[in-house]
Structure 1
């Protein structure tokens, strides 16, 4: 809100006049010390020309919804992925969340330390909601790189793994999904999981990097350039798509 206000060269008092509140109340909104109302969100969308995107309205809904996901990941899930044109993903440890089956995701979340069954189910529901971006009329182009070891890393039992690899094979048939398996000799991908989102014209591209403690979302050009270079370095170790799918099928048969 503060960034958009400054770009519009409006004072807090000017925004307050449009919202029907005081300058102090606007300051509290920007500092997140005042809980916004739905009408605040709708007026802000109108004020900044974001009614079609429902930027502030979606933020409002996020505040009052139980997403089941960590707070630092919500910006990516709610704002970046739904609008992205292209998503590039690298994961050396697990099947990426956008392609996980319900049971695979449940098994992954259940291994989190000190997590309750209710929290596991909430996170599973959030993960399945996240995958709805593929239901839209113009879904993003998803480019997935996964380490070969992921196909053999046991998550749950053999049935869970077979269903998960079937999910990969089915997703690969979609015209907007490309899945490639990366040779385990690739060292460029060892630093960890990351995603790069190519956004519509006029919006900055974004990246997400993961760690054991938390993830980081960035639109910094230097970080994006570094991750893009790393992605290409990993991709050079990837098998062609048709070879990758044959490998997935072969490993699928091993899970008996």
Structure 2
């Protein structure tokens, strides 16, 4: 089932199950801790269905996880085919390694930052963008697992210093992520100059059996790197970018310094 069809099914079933429970939109909103206008917006499609809403609806309507399950299906359908092998590896990983010389890694993006990134393609319909924003945020559920993976991310200082209205919020979120014991952030300082990581982003996942899976993205999509030769190259490049990055404490101090330059949120 295509993502759009699944999302429409969710909306239809939300309206139907709410009506069967004998609640109007305002009553349902009070029970779920949302406003009646938000309930209306979700049911008419002017506001996307997100995971917290789906879970709360399942709880109040006693639908046994129906809406959460349908939402997961819709979000998977929203992901491009070339991304699915990496998505599967990311969810199963015990260790994750990320480097991106241009953007905050997807697992740490706020909703507003993710939306801005996905709008780079100005031909995308608004509904498709919202579906992909929801799918990107859903990936972050691995951060809330009882046993999350160890995550090490290297970010270029240039990424932090982009002057943008959404960066203050994004940097504050990044610092909150850094407080989690299983997340380790490192910044390559501007003083490092040219370095091998400028060739492009890379991601690595170590699976439960000890094997590694790599992923590379470009303008046309992305590809998995799972051959011995490709993995050896990616692991070597990872070590290079990690080696020139600041230690964790200095990296956090730099992020805080840049955040302070944005002023109060």
TM-score normalised by the chain length of structure 2: 0.68
**Alpha-carbon distance in structure 2 between the residues aligned to 1:231 and 1:126:** 27
Describe how 1:46-61 pairs up with structure 2 within 5 A: none
**Partner in structure 2 of residue 38 of structure 1:** none
Superposition deviation, residue 204 in structure 1: 3.3
Give the Cα–Cα distance (whole angstroms) in 2 for the partners of residues 174 and 63 of structure 1. Answer: 25
Matched, 1:180 2:189: no
Task: Please report the RMSD computed on the Cα atoms of aligned residues, expressed in angstroms.
Answer: 1.8
What does residue 82 of structure 2 align with? 72
Please say which of residues 65-74 and 188-197 is displaced more in the overlay: 65-74
Q: How far, CA to CA, are the matches of 1:84 and 1:180 in structure 2? A: 20
5+ residue gaps, structure 1, are 1-60
Number of positions where the alignment pairs a residue of Structure 1 with one of Structure 2: 191
Aligned to 2:32: none
Distance in 2 of aligned mates of 1:62 and 1:197 = 25
* Residues 138 and 64 of structure 1: CA distance in aligned 2, closer, same or farther (over 3 Å): closer
Cα 1:74/1:199, change in 2 over 3 Å: same
1:117-132 to structure 2, matched below 5 A, reads 117-132=126-141
Deviation at 1:71, TM superposition (A): 1.4
Distance 1:186 1:173, change over 3 A: farther
State yes or no: 1:232 paired with 2:242: no
Equivalent-residue separation in structure 2 for 1:215 and 1:141 (angstroms): 23
Mapped pair 1:189 → 2:217: no
Counterpart contact for 1:180–1:241, Cα < 8 Å: yes
8 A Cα contact 1:139 1:176, kept in partner: yes
What stretches of structure 2 of length at least 5 have no aligned partner?
1-69
What SS is found at the alignment partner of 1:250? helix
C-alpha contact 1:195 1:208 (8 A) present in aligned 2: yes
Question: Which structure dedicates a bigger proportion of its chain to helix?
Answer: 2
TM-score by length of 1: 0.71
The C-alpha deviation readout for 1:60-119, integer Å capped at 9, x for no partner, is x99964532221102211x11111000010000000000000111011111213011101
Q: Give the alignment partner of residue 172 of structure 2, picking from 142, 146, 166.
A: 166
2: distance between equivalents of 1:140 and 1:66?
Answer: 22
Question: Within 1, Cα distance between the matches of 2:137 and 2:72?
Answer: 19
SS of match in other structure, 2:239? helix
Distance 1:66 1:169, change over 3 A: closer
